[in-house]
Amino acid sequence: MPKSLKDLRPVYVVGVGWHRYQRLSGTPYVSLGLHAIRQSLADAGIAWTDVESSYMGTGYLGMAPGLPMLRYLGATGRHLVHVENASASGSAAFRHACIEVAAGMADVALAVGVDKPETTRHPVTGLSSLANDAIAFFTHYALLMDQYAQEHGAKPEDIALVAVKNLYNGSLNPNAHRQEERSLDEILNGRKLSGWLTPLQCCPVGEGAAAVIVASEDAIKRLSIDPDRAIRVAASAACSERSGLDWPVDVALTQVTMADALQQAGLKPQNVDVLEVHDAFTIEEVQYAESLGFCKPGEAVHLLKEGAFNIGGKMAVSPSGGLIAMGHPVGPTGVGQIGEITMQLRGEAGLRQHKGAKVGLAHMIGNGPMCYAHILQKP
């Protein structure tokens, strides 16, 4: 039988760091990444020489951009691998860093995401399509929104409340791309992109970096890391699409992946205090909260209206601001979610603190789609 993370030796997040997500600028990616990594090392209270293995999630920086950045942390010459998995590149980097530590092949590993997005180059498969060149990401999700709205009688202006909440959360987050609170009217009155989607219901794609250090219990003792600030990685689940899933596949895939993660951790949907999802578009957050099993299909919009997903509500969803406010620089996004949940479970999230948070789930979808779910738990 294959093992899950929980069957191997325990892995903990011990350090987190960011470079703010922001509009593309002249800042080299090297500066962005080094800033986040140094912050994560300082947060863990360890040195670069203590890190035995590095996983770098990135989608746009070209072939093997890691060493031209990591070399400025000092001459260690340790293992480095690059992970490209579309929007889930950072989540994949984190998963593999955890697996290496859990397997006992390293005591301390770094997962770092860095990116400066440009135009996406899609794979050339040799097959043509009826209209794929006319279906941008926002149209893919406008179609999901229409399907959801018609199935459940949901109003588009209610779904847009996701953006109101997440932009508010982002206004409390110094690392967020968008830090300005917006009213429902401002959000709805933006330029129409596709279906009901306006720009503030879609994530900004800019530059940034996020870093997370994971460590074994041995390393926590040996390096005198504060065990009270170490957060257990309780589950790691990952799937990719297969033919035959119900439409929309993003939702079907999320159900399977989140259920696997909950099963691994021995938890129920209602145990999740903090949820960070791939809310690149408002409709996604509503659907993935239902995919988690936190409520029945069609109920999430009502919970959203009641404030159940606010910080301080029943379950804080996207307390970082989510992709809509925190931003979606691609490589960093999945790593940054782990950082936010770690801060929440430590009780160090400041103005964004969801009181008493003990369990957090990070969910990410990469175009494909590939899906990830990680559960973090306060020991």
Partner 1 sequence: MAELLKPDLYAQDGTTSAPKHPSLKGGKCAHCGFVFFPLQAYGCEVCGQSGDCLQPFALAGSGTLIASAKVHAYTPDAKAVAADVKPLEAPFVIGTIKLDDGPTIRTLVTDVDETTLKRGQRMMSKLVPVGTGARTIVDLRFIPAS
Of 342, 303, 360, 355, nearest in space to 111 by CA? 342
Contact between 367 and partner 1 per CB under 8 A: no
Largest Cα span, the chain: 59
Contact between 146 and partner 1 per CB under 8 A: yes
Contact between 134 and partner 1 per CB under 8 A: yes
Contact between 150 and partner 1 per CB under 8 A: yes
* Distance in Å, CB of 301 to partner 1, minimum: 17
Contact between 142 and partner 1 per CB under 8 A: yes
Contact between 128 and partner 1 per CB under 8 A: yes
CA 211, 119, 374 angle in degrees (round to 5)? 35
Size of the site for partner 1 (CB under 8 A): 29
Q: Which residue, 283 or 345, is less far from partner 1 as judged by CB?
A: 283
The CA-atom distances, in angstroms, between 152 and each of 137, 141, 142, 286, 300 are 23, 16, 15, 12, 10
- Rounded to whole angstroms, how far apart are CA atoms 38 and 43? 8
Q: Judged by CB under 8 A, which stretch of 144-152, 223-231, 259-267, 360-368 contacts partner 1?
A: 144-152
Which residues have a Cβ under 8 Å from the Cβ of 219 and sit 6 or more positions away? 14, 50, 107, 108, 225
Structure tokens at 45: 């209270």
Q: Judged by CB under 8 A, which stretch of 18-26, 147-155, 269-277, 288-296 contacts partner 1?
A: 147-155
Q: Which residue, 145 or 272, is less far from partner 1 as judged by CB?
A: 145
Contact between 243 and partner 1 per CB under 8 A: yes
How many CA atoms does the CB half-sphere of 226 hold within 13 Å? 8
**Rg of the chain's alpha carbons, rounded to an integer?**
19
Q: What is the DSSP letter of 191?
A: P
Burial class for 27, CB neighbours closer than 10 Å (0-12, 13-18, 19+): middle
Judged by CB under 8 A, the residue of 23, 247, 302, 312 near partner 1 is 247
- Rounded to whole angstroms, how far apart are CA atoms 211 and 334? 10
Q: Which of residues 223-242 bind partner 1 (CB under 8 A)?
A: 242
Q: Which segments of 200-299 does DSSP mark as H helices, in order? A: 217-222, 249-265, 282-292
Structure tokens at 353: 């603190």
The backbone torsions φ and ψ at residue 111, rounded to the nearest 5 degrees and listed phi first, read: -115, 120
Judged by CB under 8 A, the residue of 133, 174, 224, 228 near partner 1 is 133
Binding map of partner 1 across residues 324-353, x = CB under 8 A, - = no contact:
------------------------------
Contact between 124 and partner 1 per CB under 8 A: no
Contact between 155 and partner 1 per CB under 8 A: no
Contact between 31 and partner 1 per CB under 8 A: no
Contact between 153 and partner 1 per CB under 8 A: no
Binding map of partner 1 across residues 187-206, x = CB under 8 A, - = no contact:
----xxxxx-----------
Instruction: Using DSSP bridges, classify how beta strands 231-240 and 12-22 pair: parallel, antiparallel or unpaired.
Output: antiparallel
Judged by CB under 8 A, the residue of 143, 223, 256, 259 near partner 1 is 143
* Distance in Å, CB of 54 to partner 1, minimum: 35
Q: Judged by CB under 8 A, which stretch of 8-16, 56-64, 102-110, 129-137 contacts partner 1?
A: 129-137
Contacts with partner 1, residue ranges (CB under 8 A): 127-136, 138-139, 142-147, 150-151, 191-195, 242-244, 247
